[in-house]
Amino acid sequence: MAITKTDFMRGMQCRKMLWLDKHKPSLKIIPPEIQARLDAGNDFGDRAMGMFGPYEEMTVYRPGTTIPDKKAMLAKTAKHMEKGTPVICEAAFSNYNNYCAVDILRKRGPVYDMYEVKNAPELHEQFVKDAGFQYYILKRCRVPVSRVYIVLHGPDEANPFLPVEVTTEAKGLYKWINDNIWDLNRMQKEREEVQVEPGECCTRPYECWYYAYCHGGMPSGGEL
């Protein structure tokens, strides 16, 4: 096991959440409204791929599934990096098996700008941490990243994509990520279930999909 961007973000919200993801994923309950929001985010991300014109997408699935083939994506990304492709979407990188796929990687001379796409009207701290994790992996892979952006949902469909620069903030998270990624790697491999007292981490910044499991079957509304 290693740590992906999603693993890191979920593990930093609650260590038990990450452990359950790895050992008891069947216990998760994703409310329909949350799934709809996730699907809308994926659709928005797909549309954003073309915001700079022609692009090459790195997504490859394992045969007969919708599970990303990380090994194939890493190889495809390396090929396009060597080729000098101007815009690479879902660009895959790995360092000591820790992994991320960058929504949009745009070549600008000898350096790259990276864009993390979020279907939201305003910037949130979690978005910056998300981008910071990706910057961490790319830096460890010796990819020269110059600028880091979060692409928000613009004011209307005539202007759907609003890039917000977060370079200083995202790059400033490097040490914090390095201080935690290896601990999360170790923790998720533990055989015994990680114990965390229910609290604010159950709902912030996102409601946990294991809420009912950790609260004895009680839904987040507080009624059985």
Q: What is the CATH number of the domain that holds 81?
A: 3.90.320
Q: What is the mean pLDDT of residues 98-104?
A: 98
Q: What percent of the chain has pLDDT over 70?
A: 96
Whole-number pLDDT of residue 216:
84
Whole-number pLDDT of residue 224:
38
- pLDDT by residue (tens digit) across 149-174? 999 999 888 889 999 999 999 999 99
Partners of 98 in the β-ladder: 95
Residue whose pair of structure tokens reads 């460890």 in the numeric block? 140
Q: Where in the sequence is the domain holding 143, given as residue range(s)?
A: 5-213
Using DSSP, state whether 117 is helix, strand or coil. strand
Q: Is residue 129 part of a domain?
A: yes
Q: Is residue 223 part of a domain?
A: no
Q: What is the mean pLDDT of residues 129-138?
A: 98
- How many distinct structural domains can be found in the chain? 1
- Rounded-to-integer distance, Cα 1 and Cα 189, Å: 7
Q: Is residue 136 part of a domain?
A: yes
* For residue 1, pLDDT beyond 70: no
Q: Is residue 175 part of a domain?
A: yes
Using DSSP, state whether 148 is helix, strand or coil. strand
* For residue 219, pLDDT beyond 90: no
Q: Is residue 91 part of a domain?
A: yes
- Rounded-to-integer distance, Cα 96 and Cα 162, Å: 33
* For residue 217, pLDDT beyond 70: no
Q: Is residue 114 part of a domain?
A: yes
- Rounded-to-integer distance, Cα 134 and Cα 136, Å: 5
Contact 42/215 with Cβ under 8 angstroms? no
Cα separation values, 147 from 38, 50, 61, 83, Å: 26, 19, 29, 21
Q: Is residue 75 part of a domain?
A: yes
Whole-number pLDDT of residue 221:
46
Q: Mean pLDDT for the chain?
A: 94
Please state the separation of Cα 63 from the chain's center in Å: 23
